[in-house]
Chain A
Amino acid sequence: MESPQNIKKRLKSVNNIGQITKAMELVSATKMRKSQEIALASRPYSFAALDLLANLTLLENLKKEELPELLRQRKVSKVLFVLVASDKGLAGAFNSSVFRKFELHMKRDEEKYPNEEHLFLAVGEKSSAYLTKKGFKIAKKFVQAGDYTTPEDVKPITDFIVQGYLDKKWDRVVIISTHFRTALKQEPHIRRFLPIDFDHIADAIREIVPERGKFAELIKEQSINFVPTRADVKDYLIEPSAKKVLERLVKHLCFMQMYHLVLEANASEHSARRMAMKTASDNASDLSVSLNLQYNKSRQSKITTEISEISAGAEAQSQ
């Protein structure tokens, strides 16, 4: 049997680990709540922006050629994949589930469209490490977004993607990120980012609210209709011109959608980390119980041996 001193040493380190993971669990829980709150704070804004877009497109029965570039479909020969993962590890299956989804998608894509060229953009330290390891060409990487994303953090990412799209560096942009369904359940999702589809944006915004939990009630309070009926639309004065406003608004919506995706990934990361840390601290406490038992047993057996040695010695002397 292992010596009691050794077991004691192990017990101590297990307890220390347990304490650390417990602390990390609590920190992640707070961070998760806060990032959810940030995501929700931008909802009125998103709804207003989407409403405006719906109004604008109804007002002007724009012809195909007049649509801004970002809304137009074109022949796809190059695809940009954006992989959104975390900067730090210790978040359970958060990163690997995104990568697995990505691999599946790539496999299917290669069979379906063998002639498409692929480019990659990494958001987060881990995703750039993964892509480098797999030998994919990274067009650019964005890291250090921090625990809570600010619009300023996301702006360079969107600018890069939109500019590249306008310069015809890629004809389609696909984003793989994590969708925050509930605090216990996150799923990797694949979304088409460009060219823009109204339904896609509307879905993305609706998804900000988790299905269950504290914030789920909010969506029922403010049910918002995205598509105004023809009758509501009066004659608007549009300055400087419908085309220009639409162009700006569409760019803005891109930015907004990206912001939401990153926020959602952020909330997912924190909640995945919370779950991983919870499992780790549960394991640590289990381990500490069994180690404690082992320690007591080994101490007991040592004492028994000593007693039997002493009594044997005493017996030998009395003879």
Chain B
Amino acid sequence: MKLSVYSLKNILFQGEAVSLNCKTTMGEITVLDHHEPLITILAEGQVKVIAKDGKEHLFPIRSGFLEVRPENEARCIVEQ
């Protein structure tokens, strides 16, 4: 899926990703390809992104929002 993770200071991740794992206020979730559209609040913790090339990216966050959009696209805005 197409994933972008933005923070106020810079772009943390942008590109194709296999999975996104993060903690929301309702519990931990993993977003894979073709996830259903979703809007949720992220809780303090780590965001784990596995990119298409198999690389793992970890970002510690304080809070944020996640939006999974219909066309296999996800966007995260986070506060670090």
Contacts and interface: CB of A to CB of B under 8 A. Distances in A.
Contacts of B70: 232, 234
B62 to A, nearest CB: 10
Interface residues of B, number: 22
A247 B8 CA distance: 19
Interface residues of A, number: 27
What DSSP secondary structure best describes chain B's contact surface?
A: strand
B7 interface: yes
A41 B39 contact: no
A189 to B, nearest CB: 22
Contact of B41 (A48, A49, A240): A240
A44 B10 CA distance: 8
A44 B39 contact: no
Contact of B77 (A41, A48, A239, A245): A48
B8 A249 contact: no
A263 to B, nearest CB: 10
A256 interface: yes
B37 interface: yes
Contacts, number: 70
Contacts of A240: 25-26, 40-41
Given A48-B77, A245-B65, A249-B65, A237 B38 contact: yes
A300 interface: no
Interface of A: 38, 41-42, 44-45, 48-49, 51-52, 55-56, 151, 232, 234-240, 244-245, 248-249, 252, 256, 259
Given A45-B8, A52-B77, A56-B39, 15 more contacts: A42-B8, A44-B6, A51-B75, A52-B67, A151-B9, A234-B37, A235-B37, A236-B37, A236-B38, A239-B24, A239-B39, A239-B40, A245-B39, A256-B8, A259-B8
24 contacts: A38-B9, A41-B8, A41-B10, A41-B11, A42-B8, A42-B9, A44-B4, A48-B77, A51-B75, A232-B70, A236-B39, A237-B38, A238-B38, A238-B40, A239-B24, A239-B25, A239-B38, A240-B25, A240-B26, A240-B40, A244-B41, A245-B40, A248-B65, A256-B8
